[in-house]
């Protein structure tokens, strides 16, 4: 049976995803932190702030918050980070994780706020640095 804490966390995760999905189609803006335009960390920070969770101002600082989670153990609402071992340069919000699918919603510099499956994306797969749980 699910504990009250588990139920509360599951509800928070759903609210975070629902909040993020409201902004699909919003344009990308370098340094953007509002619905007039977002960059990746501005988007994750904004979505989490709407759910009373404070995140750092950039993807690098966000990658130090919460605690690390293996990619296979990510849950909706967790953060996923990209870059190299020396530098984090992108963050997305996980919307679905299963054996067949890893979906995230994020600010794409070319397409704005989108949700996509990155399971078979050679671009994203080779850039994954790790995941974090802040909920």
Return the HEC string of the chain. CCCHHHHHHHHHHHHHHHHHHCCCCCCECCCCEECCEECHHHHHHHHHHCCCCCCCCCHHHHCCCCEEECHHHCCCCCEEEEECCCCEEEEEEEEEECCCCEEEEEEECCCEEEEEECCCCHHHHCCEEEEEECC
- Out of 46, 76, 90, 132, the active site residue is 90
- Residue 40 falls in the annotated catalytic set: yes
**67 has catalytic annotation:** no
Q: Which of 106, 107, 129, 133 is catalytic?
A: 106
Q: Which of 16, 17, 40, 80 is catalytic?
A: 40
Helical packing angle, 40-49 and 4-21, nearest 10° = 130
Q: Is 90 a catalytic residue?
A: yes
So which residues are the catalytic ones?
40, 90, 106
């Amino acid at each position: 049976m699910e504990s009250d804490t588990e139920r509360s966390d599951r509800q928070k995760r759903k609210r975070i995803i629902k909040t993020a999905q409201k902004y699909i189609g919003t344009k990308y803006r370098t340094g953007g932190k509002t619905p007039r335009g977002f960059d990746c960390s501005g988007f994750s920070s904004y979505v989490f702030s709407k759910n009373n969770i404070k995140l750092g101002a950039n993807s690098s600082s966000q990658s130090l918050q919460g605690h690390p989670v293996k990619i296979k153990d990510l849950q909706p609402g967790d953060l996923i980070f990209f870059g190299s071992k020396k530098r984090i340069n992108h963050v997305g919000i996980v919307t679905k994780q299963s054996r067949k699918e890893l979906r995230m919603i994020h600010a794409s510099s070319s397409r704005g706020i989108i949700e996509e499956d990155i399971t078979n994306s050679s671009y994203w797969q080779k850039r994954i640095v790790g995941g974090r749980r802040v909920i």
